[in-house]
Structure 1
């Protein structure tokens, strides 16, 4: 399911990655670290099957800036993305440095909407997973069917579908509907998470999608389901705050160790 077809065939992935050797000296140490983190996130989204070929996006704010963010080049598979291949753009979607890649206009609309107003949004993750799109099409949205879904109790916004996100006027409505929540279901579309770090953005998406997978499985069983009382859901959500105060950092460090062993080129 695509957002928009590329306007032109960009340089091949192999050619783009070949330019990486000179990349590290082009950016500050802080930006390079952010690029490495974001490239790792793309690789992990691919590894866990949360991709839609070359579509959907993960963005990260350029350190020290509220008007620039990094995003994937339009046409790269997530498994190909490296720290140096990420594209730096401003809040109007214009590149702020030379790149071999264009940016998907629909991806720019959604991510720039968040980065414009949420200065806590260091990372924004958007996916089109089967489970996420399935729950996005269900009238009741995400149900508190299990402990994993209760993590999102009271922390999940909803945005009605308006078509492919090419209309910049939609940004205001996305901002209104998201508010200060960390996660949003884009109805009839997919999932979106907002992290105070790249690690948190990934962790929220991994578990939000897992909650959607569990809901699809439970409802497919064809038997009545049980829903805990609202006060139990609120209690469980509060327990997640106490029990997981690291905002995804614990699992993130473990996942980076795996990437360093198996896909170290993400750092190039």
Structure 2
């Protein structure tokens, strides 16, 4: 039995889909509040999505233009993979639709995806590099994150979203060059956590490289440490 299996989290079980949906929306709203607390908001940029528990080709997302710190569960909008808002009173961020619809379509096991223009994530992304295993925390992404090595402007076309989904592959995170970070998970909590710790790993590597040349953790030790992630 792997370490990951031993340390796995068992999600709550619901008797009604309505209860599961409410729980999902509450988690999503809480994730936005947490992102605000960490300073991940940047104007109208940034979004976290969660696949609806019943309508698998629909996802809940933050309304366009609403600050992360103000989002409540009742504010969230339900969007289908064609970009149509089927529930809610606000418009959808076109970039959120273009990116997240294709990520959710490509990864049916993924429940949530997170992306924002966080300071250290977008700074690191400008280097066009993957993170190195220089800390125990960074080993969580060892051989489990990718680089979308292109930038053509604000992502408004689903074809660009498909390219990002393809670059992500079966990994839990992707660095979008000159743009920022993208993380996914089998729960809202997981996607949000991976984003937060990836942002901090970007910060740690930027700080380390500003002071000198970091010593990399050996491959065999990085691989074992990854199993604890």
Q: So what's the TM-score if we normalise by structure 2?
A: 0.88
1:229 matches 2:218: yes
1:148 to 129, 137, 152: 137
Of 123, 130, 144, 1:134 maps to: 123
Any conservation in 2 of the 1:157–1:185 contact (CA below 8 Å)? yes
Does the alignment pair 1:166 with 2:166? no
Tell me if 1:69 matches 2:56.
Answer: no
Question: Counterpart in 2 of 1:116?
Answer: 105
- Distance of 1:86 and 1:142 partners within structure 2: 33
Say how many residue pairs are matched. 212
Cα distance in 2, alignment partners of residues 148 and 67 from structure 1: 33
SS of the residue aligned with 2:147? strand
Q: Is the partner of 2:227 in helix, strand or coil? A: helix
Q: Counterpart in 1 of 2:197?
A: 207
Contact kept in structure 2, 1:66 and 1:115, CA below 8 Å: no
Contact 1:66 1:116 (8 Å CA) reproduced: no
Q: Confirm or deny: 8 A CA contact 1:57 1:125 kept in the other structure.
A: yes
Q: Match of 1:215, SS?
A: helix
Any conservation in 1 of the 2:129–2:147 contact (CA below 8 Å)? no
1:106 matched to 2:106? The reply is no
Distance apart, 1:76 and its partner CA:
0.5
Q: Which runs of 5+ in 1 are unaligned?
A: 1-26, 241-268
1:35-91 CA distance string (max 9 Å, x none):
111101100111111221332100001112221110011110000000000010100
Pairwise CA distance, 1:233: 1.4
Which residue in 1 is equivalent to 2:13?
none
- The RMSD of aligned alpha carbons is 1.4
Q: Which of 200, 204, 209 is equivalent to 1:219?
A: 209
After TM superposition, the score normalised by the length of structure 1 is 0.76
Structure 1 range deviating more: 228-237 or 187-196? 228-237
